[in-house]
Amino acid sequence: MKSKILPRVILALLITGTIAFSCKKTELERLPLVVTIPPTNITDNSATAHGLISDLGDGEVSKYGFCYVPAPDTPTVQNAGYYYEKLADTGLYSINITGLSAATKYNHRAYMVTSQGPVYGRVVEFWTGGTGSGNWYFYDDGYNFNSIGLTGGGNFTAAIRLYMNDLPSQSSLRITKISFYVTNDLNTDYELAIRTLIQGTTYLEYSQPVNGITGTYAEYELDDPFEIPEGIDGIYAGYFVADPFGFLPAGIDAGPANPDGNGDKILIEGENTWENLSDFGWDNNWNIQVYIENSKGEEFMYVPGKKPAGIIESGENAGSNIEIKGKK
């Protein structure tokens, strides 16, 4: 009989242990949560920042607001110039930040300080309005002398080439405007085009359809300023033109062409290499001008025509069977 009781005792102990274990309380910690919302009402020197505190956590909120700093630095509570004291409940909040620099990219984020320490939302970047120190870069003489196009019509990209090591610093540079001479707006489609040059190969980075008025040197502001990346060799900037009927859509100056081939680059659709107008017997520069700003306000000057050492040239194909025509 005793042999039959022993398993029941063990079973009872197991059940008791299981019950005791299952009743053990697990402590859960609530974490505070704050969200950064993109700013609004951005001007040259101010912006309205918005945040959302969705959970206060278990600690008391002693301060909340926004921290901001010029890019590419990361904002922390040490950069927090605008904040509120105390907070009793969750919800949306906004603060108008003033005293910003014009034409500058800022990183900002919402934050709050609790007894557990600072808590941040994600970093959101924005540009203030206005213009920094900048210049127009071009190789033409500023006047339209002639217009050219492909015989029988066709699509191509007209561009000028700017080498990056001709600038004192590549940091915080951006293209904000492109200007070119419009010679036929009724039968031709134009798109702004920016390509980066890396080891002899160009990559299309930006395009934007535009409308112009025939016979004008039109100035176009980019919908989104193009930030020139660091580590590239150069920029090809200009426009893509779709000209199915051969209406001579591209304006040129009286020449002579830039001797280093920087002012008359052309990429014909279907071809793999950039060529120059001089390959087709045209000693001229495109009527293209590019506006580059330094958002930090540093002065800089572009020196046209200098070729950096160690750059692999884009292929030139003087034997192309494409004919470029114009009114000679």
Whether the per-residue pLDDT at 173 is higher than 50: the answer is yes
Whether the per-residue pLDDT at 206 is higher than 70: the answer is yes
Higher confidence at residue 207 or residue 143? 207
Average pLDDT over residues 254-266: 94
Backbone torsion region of residue 199, taken as left when φ is above 0, otherwise alpha when ψ lies between -120 and 50, otherwise beta: left
83-124 confidence digits (pLDDT tens): 787 776 788 889 999 999 877 888 899 998 888 889 999 888
pLDDT of residue 315: 29
Most confident range (mean pLDDT) of 14-28, 79-93, 123-137, 153-167 is 153-167
- Evaluate whether 45 touches 131 at the Cβ level (below 8 Å): no
| Alpha-carbon span 261 to 146, nearest angstrom | 19
Residues, the chain, total? 328
C-alpha Rg value of the chain to the nearest Å: 31
Name the β-bridge partners of 123.
none
Whether the per-residue pLDDT at 17 is higher than 50: the answer is no
pLDDT of residue 18: 45
Residue with token string 């025939």: 214
Q: Is 189 helix (H, G, I), strand (E, B) or coil?
A: strand
Share of the chain above pLDDT 70, in %: 76
Amino acid at 207: S
Average pLDDT over residues 232-250: 90
Provide CB contacts within 8 A for 320, sequence distance 6+. Answer: 268, 271, 275, 279, 280
pTM of structure: 0.56
Higher confidence at residue 131 or residue 59? 59
Backbone torsion region of residue 260, taken as left when φ is above 0, otherwise alpha when ψ lies between -120 and 50, otherwise beta: alpha
Question: Positive or negative CA dihedral for 176, 178, 184, 187?
Answer: negative
Give the neighbor-by-neighbor strand order of the sheet with 91-97.
33-40, 47-55, 91-97
Phi, psi of 161 (to 5 degrees): -110, 130
40 pLDDT band, cuts 50/70/90, is: confident
The secondary element (H helix, E strand) that includes residue 157 is strand 154-163
C-alpha distances in angstroms, 117 versus 63, 66, 83, 134, 273? Answer: 11, 15, 16, 42, 57
Instruction: Count the neighbouring beta carbons within 10 Å of the beta carbon of residue 66.
Output: 26
| Lowest mean per-residue pLDDT among 1-10, 125-134, 207-216, 240-249 | 1-10
pLDDT of residue 321: 39
Whether the per-residue pLDDT at 281 is higher than 90: the answer is yes
- Evaluate whether 253 touches 283 at the Cβ level (below 8 Å): no
Cis check: omega of the bond before 256, within 30 degrees of 0: yes
- Evaluate whether 135 touches 282 at the Cβ level (below 8 Å): no
Higher confidence at residue 241 or residue 130? 241
Provide CB contacts within 8 A for 58, sequence distance 6+. Answer: 29, 30, 116
